[in-house]
Amino acid sequence: MYQLDVPFYFYGLGLLPLLWVAYFIVVGWKRRAQNRFAQYGLMEKLSPHRSKFKPALKLLMLSLGIVLLIIGLVNPKIGTQLETVKREGVDIVFAVDVSKSMLAEDVAPNRLEKSKRLVSAIINHLASDRVGIIAYAAQAIPQLPITTDYGAAKMFLQALNTDMLSSQGTALDAALDLSGTYFDDEDQTNRVVFLISDGEDHSEEGASAAQRASDMGIKIFTFGVGSDEGGPIPIKRKGVVESYKKDMQGETVITKRNVIILQEIAAAAEGEYTDGNDTQAVVDFVTETLKNMDKKEFDAKKYVSYKDQFQTFLLAGFLLILLELFLFETKTKWVQRLNLFNEK
């Protein structure tokens, strides 16, 4: 495990393109200046010891030296001591709808991105709870098992997209049935599923699956994203809308949020429905709900000691820049004696 002490310094990498542009400008200016005095072949004879590749080598060494110095300033830290700590929390499974209807832009920027931001905001306000992630459309697939690693959760969350499942449609029952397999602790007093969706259910078995989950002691809270008026599903290419999804009759499909189904699912599993378009309201609701739940104590691994690694990067960076200063642009004699390119 590692940490970055001052990641702000990574912005310094923006200097590299400027350095490369300046290098090519100078090389072009030198070549034009030389051409005013003599032809290229004659210049080769006038300066036979000038190396062709060393200027580029010097640029590479300088660039690499700058990169290492910047990494040193960022100060990466590597965990050196891992301890088991006691935590109390609730096991939470996020079931996120990734069907094509989630591409509708009736909420900005679209329903899926809104859902991802909603889940991320909830995770930011969690304390010691464990989280897992499920993605579903016509079928459901596990994305992240129950974990306390919120960083990993956010990484898997951002990877969710509507192309990850080949079969389209929305089967809420598949997501709820799969979520039941995430809870393997019989002593867990509170098992929670947060279902984020626009409410479309092509299986029409969502309420039944919610009842099965309730029988297992799982509470389901639903968050509806999208508008009741609905919107078309854009078909984009390279970020540009080419057309909109159409039905068998050639009419543009208008997908609407189905609040009723989401309310029925929540009611069947002793949960509540909340408007997912209001992020702050959802976060406040989740925070208050989890606060009133019984917590389960569990063991978690945690790095409690980190060691600075900036010295290695700074030293290597300074050495490369120092070598670049003492590397002349003339040909190296032992390389000339090798006659690699049969120049003699």
pLDDT at position 57:
82
pLDDT at position 129:
86
Measured N-to-C along each axis, helices 279-291 and 111-124 cross at an angle, to the nearest 10 degrees, of: 40
Q: What is the distance, to the nearest Å, from the Cα of residue 271 to the centroid of all Cα atoms in its chain? A: 30
Beta strands across the sheet bearing 2-4: 2-4, 76-89, 296-308
Whether the Cβ atoms of residue 143 and residue 160 lie closer than 8 Å to each other = yes
CATH of domain 86-300: 3.40.50.410
pLDDT at position 298:
57
pLDDT tens sequence across 256-283:
999 999 999 999 999 999 999 999 999 9
Query: Residue type for 252, please?
Result: T
Cβ contacts of residue 274 below 8 Å, gap of 6+?
A: 221, 222, 223, 224, 281, 282, 285
pLDDT at position 191:
87
pLDDT tens sequence across 160-204:
998 888 776 677 888 899 988 888 666 556 789 999 999 887 667
- What's the CA gap between 325 and 314, in Å, rounded? 17
Question: Domain map of the chain by residue range?
Answer: 2-75+309-338, 86-300
pLDDT at position 165:
81
- The dihedrals phi and psi of 72, each to the nearest 5 degrees, come to -65, -40
pLDDT at position 341:
46
pTM: 0.64
Q: Which residue has the tokens 């019984």?
A: 294
pLDDT at position 6:
80
pLDDT at position 185:
63
Mean pLDDT by 10 residues, the chain (344 residues): 76 88 85 68 59 78 91 77 65 93 92 96 90 91 90 92 79 87 70 92 79 91 94 87 87 92 93 94 94 69 63 88 77 53 49
